[in-house]
Amino acid sequence: MDKKLEDIFSFETIADDCVKCGKCIPVCTIHNVNADEVTSPRGFIDLLGAYKRGNLELDKTAKDIFESCFLCTNCVDVCPKSLPTDMIIEQARNDIAQKFGIAWYKKTFFTLLRHRWLNDIAFKLGYTFQTCGFKIQEETNSMHSRLSLPILKSDRTLPSLSKTSFLNRHKEELVENGGKRKVAVFIGCLANYNYKEVGESLLEILETLGIDAFLAHDQKCCSAPAYFTGDFDTVDANAKHNIAYFESFAKDVEAVIVPEATCSAMLKIDYEHYFHDDPAWKARAQSMSRKIFMATEWLHNHTDLDKILATKEKDSRLVTYHDPCHARKMQGIHQEPRNLIKQNYNVVEMRDPNACCGFGGITMQSEKYHFAKAAGTPKAAMIKETKAEVVSAECSACRMQINASMGYDKEITTVFKNPIELIAEALKN
């Protein structure tokens, strides 16, 4: 990102800067499933410029258009002027939320994200009753609705709930592994409540490396789902809480490691963007960001994990790695997870590992799920072409979407694993 932060949020400047070259169009996730100029990066930019100049009313049609972006940043990556389409759409979604309100079910979800104790109760209740409404596949942490409802169609694979969250399973604040080095763990909501093996695997790796793990129990959701939906009240509450909480232990740890691309990008990059017009909080977000790392990034660059893995047996399974948008495009992390998993697995690249999986956020996963489903189909097809037994990505949102996309093709038997799980499995051999 080579633009100054204050220019990034000037919609008119960005609209004027767009040279309409169209380089962004072939890579645009929404344009590829809805080939219309208004749902393309330069279309969004044009319309947002017109809206800020008072030439376009933020009516239901405009709302529908601005909610169609996947926020995948593919366009930013290829734009010769690095125009931040995703960031101005995030800002516009706050205007949408203020004008139209936020749907009751999203509001309920964001309320849970603001209060972990409430989320714990909700997920416990969900776990108890999930078998009434869903068929559970324990081995893949997934489930299917017993009834075909408008959004919860019976053929859609969803993540199942764990009996106890990762943080509640580990009540201790510090997992001691020798006391020489220490990192804090930010686990993220999906790994906390749904994909429990991610956190357990991370603890196993840290134990092997002799690094103490501070389980930051007072962490709240990074608030990415709320940010992408325009619920800035939730972002404000959770971001300020997390920053103040991280400051309270920052001096005692080398890093805060996050086995999730979206959460780490939110903590490391989007908090600073969110506080762009609040100098005091922006400075605190910037200071905190220096300690935030994706788990594979930190393990690869700050430990001997690759050398330890090289002493372990080879696993015959074929693995393909998908690049989460929030890892590769936002944080430049793509080589680190590959370098680690290739020590023990045969890695085969899919046709376009950098293509967005089509997750897109809460709105895309609910009322606009037809777009998410359409965007996920090519990703599932490229995974199938590799004949890999495992598809990996350091992101539970990608996992949820890729599992759903692969689930529609009954010939696909590939299973999903976070690279942290693959590494922990390799260390046992």
**Residues lying near ligand SF4 in the complex (CB under 6 A):** 18-24, 27-30, 41-42, 44-45, 69-75, 79-81, 83, 85-86
What does the radius of gyration of the chain's CA atoms come to, in whole angstroms? 21
Taking the mean position of all CA atoms in its chain, how far away is CA 255? 20
Which lies closer to ligand SF4 via its Cβ, residue 43 or residue 159? 43
Min dist. Cβ of residue 361 to ligand SF4 (A): 11
- 392: part of which helix (H) or strand (E)? strand 390-392
Min dist. Cβ of residue 360 to ligand SF4 (A): 8
Q: How many CB atoms lie within 10 A of CB 391?
A: 28
Which residue type is seen at 280?
A
Min dist. Cβ of residue 17 to ligand SF4 (A): 7
Helix, strand and coil content of the chain, in percent to the nearest 5, comes to: 55, 10, 35
Min dist. Cβ of residue 364 to ligand SF4 (A): 10
Greatest CA span in the chain, whole angstroms?
64
Min dist. Cβ of residue 236 to ligand SF4 (A): 23
Pairing of strands 181-185, 211-215: parallel
Q: Is 370 exposed, middle or buried (0-12, 13-18, 19+ CB in 10 A)?
A: exposed
Report the interhelical angle of 197-209 vs 419-427 (nearest 10°): 50
Min dist. Cβ of residue 257 to ligand SF4 (A): 27
**Residue whose C-alpha is closest to residue 188's, from 174, 202, 175:** 202
**Where do we find the tokens 């009834």?**
147
Which lies closer to ligand SF4 via its Cβ, residue 113 or residue 375? 375
Min dist. Cβ of residue 34 to ligand SF4 (A): 10
DSSP string, 305-323: HHHHHHTSPP---EEEE--
Range list of H helices, 136-278: 166-169, 189-193, 197-209, 224-229, 232-249, 261-265, 271-274
Which lies closer to ligand SF4 via its Cβ, residue 21 or residue 149? 21
- 137: part of which helix (H) or strand (E)? strand 134-137
Min dist. Cβ of residue 297 to ligand SF4 (A): 23
d(CA 95, CA 107): 16
- 295: part of which helix (H) or strand (E)? helix 295-302
Min dist. Cβ of residue 89 to ligand SF4 (A): 7
Which lies closer to ligand SF4 via its Cβ, residue 42 or residue 156? 42
Which lies closer to ligand SF4 via its Cβ, residue 199 or residue 360? 360
Which lies closer to ligand SF4 via its Cβ, residue 39 or residue 414? 39
Which residue type is seen at 325?
C
Which lies closer to ligand SF4 via its Cβ, residue 28 or residue 423? 28
d(CA 249, CA 214): 9
Which lies closer to ligand SF4 via its Cβ, residue 44 or residue 298? 44
Beta bridge partners of 347: 319
d(CA 43, CA 61): 14
Min dist. Cβ of residue 418 to ligand SF4 (A): 23
**Residue whose C-alpha is closest to residue 159's, from 139, 143, 148:** 143
Which lies closer to ligand SF4 via its Cβ, residue 81 or residue 317? 81
Q: Which two tokens stand for residue 412?
A: 């696909």
Min dist. Cβ of residue 245 to ligand SF4 (A): 30
Which lies closer to ligand SF4 via its Cβ, residue 88 or residue 213? 88
Which lies closer to ligand SF4 via its Cβ, residue 259 or residue 378? 378
